[in-house]
């Protein structure tokens, strides 16, 4: 009887790409964190839409933002929501620098969970899985 | 004079975990109980309202629609509504109130049926098909394994810990209070079998900080029915009517991670705009507790305490106990009595205002209650009064 194969972590759920979200989920291929920006009023719309949620202009396009931010709130998740999911890990809401009013739910990686705190400065790091580049964040210093 | 709307009948099926009884029959059980309570017969019903309507792709979540009831009960319906896109679960009752105030309907069945435990035992029939991709609002959370609403509510709760110093001992009082009250609720026997102690709570498995296992409600199978009647139809009613004195709802953005505070902080103040009642007049509150932190947002949002003070109010549990100054979730809430998904709070508010809660009846001849539902970006509240 052979021993059980080593367990591998489950794949991340895959967003279904469409006209509105494609630039967000694939921008990491060029190292870009793309957020929809309005060419008329200058404000950002997230989740991405084909019109500006502030002024309803259709003159919108994805814009690469700085990719840095601050942890606005966070939780240490202990529940394995899928078989083989390694816990604990940090789920955080990151307030993006230069993108007022936009938050991203993400994971804070490359630090032990007890070293991650409210107010920490973080920067984006992309994790590729197929066509999708997941914008995860790590501590900036 | 404007027509008023009243809750005139309440009913609840057996509440259990993996009940063998079909959810349509559970719904009919609850309807029959509510009709008997009100003293009405089916031919007097002329409207059916629900949240969220039949969930064809996920029947465990909502296995019965308004069409089903109209069909099998032979209701001659003048207006119906079953929709996910409304402020929150209890706004279905708010809309029923408008239908009778408008004179379109006289007696309306409002219901919420859940089969989330039984459905998991029969996934082929009741659970969603495995999707290859995620879309809609879940695409912004599930790719990061923020799979459950527990992870979303946890982030609001964690902010109260960080910003206002909320402790686990304080948060524990929601679940502990719920378990105490559930033990006096015959409909909660399948859900709560013993009192939750602080020791047991503190040693519980963590789900998503600061929420532990006991801070999360439990899938159950049940149907809850609320009958709403027009004020000029009360001579047909045998039970004590309870007036829907005010309703409010709020959805600012349908997004759990783009809202700064939960919608309870918007729907709360709005509840007081169309009534002379004030928080000090309220005898009991039935606050949505799918996760234990949510009642704290309702305490603050409705103005019972200042923002950031809710956890201090519940500390020690005496203020929210049945004999306290503001009895909370006197049937056990969803933490103690199962995930009835919002309607249980209206059911219990009416039961208390009628003095019909038996062993768990609060003292002092209660006349005014608040019932709420929702969390995060969605919120709906009802102010109920016995005249």
Evaluate whether residue B242 is within a structural domain: yes
Evaluate whether residue B179 is within a structural domain: no
The tally of domains found in chain B comes to 1
Evaluate whether residue B254 is within a structural domain: yes
CA separation for the pair B245, B237 (Å, rounded)? 19
Instruction: Choose the closest CB to A13 out of B142, B208, B255.
Output: B142
Is residue A55 classed exposed, middle or buried when 0-12, 13-18 and 19+ CB atoms within 10 A define those classes? middle
Q: How many CB atoms lie within 10 A of CB B186?
A: 10
Q: Which residues of chain B have pLDDT under 50?
A: none
Write out the residues of chain A at the interface with chain B, using a CB-CB cutoff of 8 A. 12-16, 18, 21, 46-47, 73-79, 81-82, 85, 89, 91-93, 101-107, 118, 132, 134, 136
- Give percent of chain B above pLDDT 90: 96
H or E element, residue A76: strand A68-77
H or E element, residue B350: helix B343-353
Strands in A33-38's sheet, in edge-to-edge order, are: A44-45, A33-38, A60-65
Angle B23-38/B66-73 helices, nearest 10 degrees?
Answer: 70
The tally of domains found in chain A comes to 1
Evaluate whether residue A79 is within a structural domain: yes
Res B131: pLDDT: 86
Contact B145 A16 (CB under 8 A): no
Q: The tokens of A107 are what?
A: 């994971």
Contact A91 B135 (CB under 8 A): no
Evaluate whether residue B36 is within a structural domain: yes
Res B253: pLDDT: 87
Is residue A2 over pLDDT 60? no
Res A5: pLDDT: 56
Res A34: pLDDT: 98
CA-angle at A80, arms to A77 and A81, nearest 5°:
100
Look up tokens 């000029």; give the residue: B232
Evaluate whether residue A53 is within a structural domain: yes
CA separation for the pair B338, B222 (Å, rounded)? 9
Evaluate whether residue B297 is within a structural domain: yes
Evaluate whether residue B156 is within a structural domain: no
For the stretch A13-47, pLDDT in tens is 999 999 999 999 999 999 999 999 999 999 999 99
What is the pTM (predicted TM-score) of this model?
Answer: 0.97
Q: The tokens of B66 are what?
A: 């308004």
Contact B143 A13 (CB under 8 A): yes
Is residue B107 classed exposed, middle or buried when 0-12, 13-18 and 19+ CB atoms within 10 A define those classes? buried
Res A6: pLDDT: 57
Evaluate whether residue B169 is within a structural domain: no
Res B189: pLDDT: 98
Evaluate whether residue B146 is within a structural domain: no
For the stretch B310-345, pLDDT in tens is 999 999 999 999 999 999 999 999 999 999 999 999
CA separation for the pair B242, A73 (Å, rounded)? 41
Evaluate whether residue A135 is within a structural domain: yes
Pairing, β A132-139 against β B221-230:
unpaired
Res A11: pLDDT: 96
CA separation for the pair B342, B34 (Å, rounded)? 17
Contact A91 B156 (CB under 8 A): no
Provide the residue range defining the domain that includes A134. Answer: 22-139
ipTM of this complex prediction, to 2 decimal places: 0.96
Res B1: pLDDT: 52
Evaluate whether residue A67 is within a structural domain: yes
H or E element, residue B98: helix B91-101
Distance from CA of B379 to the nearest CA of A (A): 21
Res A90: pLDDT: 98
């Amino acid at each position: 009887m052979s021993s059980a194969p080593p367990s591998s972590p489950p794949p991340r759920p895959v967003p279904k790409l469409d006209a509105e979200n494609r630039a967000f989920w694939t921008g990491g291929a060029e190292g870009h964190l793309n957020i929809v920006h309005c060419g008329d009023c200058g404000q950002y719309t997230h989740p991405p839409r084909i019109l500006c949620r502030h002024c309803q202009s259709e003159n919108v396009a994805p814009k690469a933002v700085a990719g840095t931010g601050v942890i606005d709130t966070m939780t240490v998740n202990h529940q394995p929501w899928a078989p083989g999911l390694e816990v604990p890990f940090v789920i955080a809401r990151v307030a993006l620098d230069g993108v007022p009013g936009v938050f991203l739910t993400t994971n804070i990686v490359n630090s032990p969970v007890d070293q991650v705190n409210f107010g920490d400065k973080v920067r984006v790091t992309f994790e590729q899985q197929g066509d999708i580049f997941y914008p995860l964040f790590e501590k900036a210093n | 004079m404007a027509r008023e709307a009243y809750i005139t009948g309440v009913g609840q099926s057996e509440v259990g975990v993996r009940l063998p009884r079909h959810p349509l029959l559970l719904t009919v059980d609850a309807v029959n109980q509510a009709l008997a309570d009100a003293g009405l017969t089916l031919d007097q019903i002329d409207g059916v309202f629900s949240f969220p309507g039949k969930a064809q792709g996920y029947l465990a979540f909502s296995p019965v629609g308004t069409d089903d009831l109209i069909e099998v009960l032979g209701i001659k319906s003048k207006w119906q509504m079953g929709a996910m896109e409304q402020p929150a679960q209890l706004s279905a009752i708010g809309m029923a109130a408008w239908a009778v105030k408008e004179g379109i309907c006289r007696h309306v069945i409002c219901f919420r049926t859940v089969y989330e435990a039984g459905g998991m035992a029969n996934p082929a029939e009741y659970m969603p098909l495995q999707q290859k991709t995620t879309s809609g609002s879940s695409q912004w959370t599930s790719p990061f394994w923020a799979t459950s609403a527990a992870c979303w509510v946890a982030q609001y709760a964690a902010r109260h810990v960080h910003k206002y110093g909320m402790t686990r001992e304080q948060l524990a009082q929601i679940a502990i209070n719920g378990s105490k009250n559930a033990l006096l609720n015959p409909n909660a026997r399948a859900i709560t079998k013993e009192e939750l102690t602080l020791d047991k709570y503190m040693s519980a498995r963590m789900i998503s900080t600061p929420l532990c296992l006991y801070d999360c409600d439990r899938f159950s199978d049940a149907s809850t029915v609320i009958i709403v009647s027009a004020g000029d139809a009360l001579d047909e009613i045998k039970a004590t009517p309870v007036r829907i004195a005010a309703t409010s709802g709020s959805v600012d953005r349908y997004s759990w991670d783009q809202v700064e505070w939960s919608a309870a902080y918007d729907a709360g103040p709005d509840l007081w705009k169309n009534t002379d009642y004030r928080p000090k007049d309220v005898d009991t509150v039935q606050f949505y507790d799918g996760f234990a932190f949510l009642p704290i947002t309702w305490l603050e949002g409705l103005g019972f305490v200042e923002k950031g003070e809710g956890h201090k109010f519940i500390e020690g549990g005496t203020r929210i106990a049945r004999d306290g100054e503001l009895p909370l979730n006197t049937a056990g809430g969803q933490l103690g009595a199962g995930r009835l998904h919002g309607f249980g709070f209206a059911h219990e508010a009416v039961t208390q205002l009628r003095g019909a809660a038996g062993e768990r009846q609060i003292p002092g001849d209660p006349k005014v209650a608040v019932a709420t539902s929702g969390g995060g970006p969605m919120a709906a509240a009802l102010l109920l009064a016995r005249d």
